[in-house]
Amino acid sequence: MIKTVDLTKKYGDAFAIRGVDLDLEAGDLFGFIGPNGAGKTTTMRIISTLLEPTSGEAYVCGHSVHTAPKEIRRLVGYMPDFFGVYDDMTVVEYLEFFAASYRIMGEDRRRRVNEMLEIVDLDFKRDAFANTLSRGQTQRLGLARTLLHDPQVLLLDEPLSGLDPRARIEMRNLLRKLGQMGKTIIVSSHILPELADVCNKVGIIDKGVLVHNAKVTDVLRMVRQYVVLVITPNETSQLSLINDLLSDHEKVQECQPGDAAIRVVLKPDVQQYGDLAKLLIENDVDLKRFSEEELDLESAFMALTKGTSTRM
């Protein structure tokens, strides 16, 4: 659906992006992560045909940005990180104005605008002036505008930036909804954790170079190759018993006792660990909690970008 080959953009002697290779299938929701100035906007603007690459190729549905920009524009909806809304237009008027620019007319236009307001959950603001909306609502209005011509591909530049926590959750839900509608989406951010549970693939770009590009599950596996259990007994006096029972177990790599709980690092590739809970219960351990340690995405992100940048 989206493919870039050795995509490069230079400004004078400086590389904005260098040799970026992407390959996204229909329905992929790709998180494009990198610090400010890493090259995310440049890449998205090239794919949406707003900017010409210095060298390399970008294709959308097999159409090249060099030879078929018109076809690509029909297929792509690009939402920039900042966009203006006109002071004297209501939400409905704003969307109708852009629908008209796509030559969507008459009853069709009204229906389409109403559908978009429904999708982005902004119908209750339809008669409000666009410049009175909150940042989150403005972003949703921008998304509605981007969706008007029913693009198959969405390129969304930092749609979560500047949003408060509630608006962030709403926008992430909206991204999931668009993914379920079968759109292929590139969404950029400078923070991995805010996208990791929405996207199925992520690419990490730094100083114009794509340093990681993988499925989210693989990225998480790269960071955490071991399952870690956190076992909490009701009585802390039982911590040493747990340690004795598990430290020499064939599935256990290491036990790390703490004040109230014990961290148990399993050996690589051990995924099934129900028998460990059974063993503890059979030996009269009174368990308060027995669970897999949650992966801390913030640390995952720092581990992945270690040595590439400190600006995240």
Residues that bind ligand ATP (CB under 6 A): 11, 16, 34, 36-42
Query: Which of residues 34 and 179 has its CB atom nearest to ligand ATP in the complex?
Result: 34
Closest contact distance (angstroms) between CB of 11 and ligand ATP is 4
Closest contact distance (angstroms) between CB of 53 and ligand ATP is 12
Query: Which of residues 13 and 87 has its CB atom nearest to ligand ATP in the complex?
Result: 13
User: 75's torsion region: left (phi>0), alpha (psi -120 to 50) or beta?
Assistant: alpha
> Coil, strand or helix: which one is 140?
helix
Closest contact distance (angstroms) between CB of 189 and ligand ATP is 9
CB 262 within 8 A of CB 236: no
Query: Which of residues 34 and 233 has its CB atom nearest to ligand ATP in the complex?
Result: 34
Closest contact distance (angstroms) between CB of 28 and ligand ATP is 20
CB 188 within 8 A of CB 32: yes
Query: Which of residues 39 and 233 has its CB atom nearest to ligand ATP in the complex?
Result: 39
> Coil, strand or helix: which one is 48?
coil
CB neighbour burial string for 111-121, b if at least 16 within 10 angstroms, e if fewer: ebbeebbebbe
Query: Which of residues 34 and 159 has its CB atom nearest to ligand ATP in the complex?
Result: 34
State the burial class of residue 291 (Cβ atoms within 10 Å of its Cβ: 0-12, 13-18, 19+).
exposed
Closest contact distance (angstroms) between CB of 9 and ligand ATP is 7
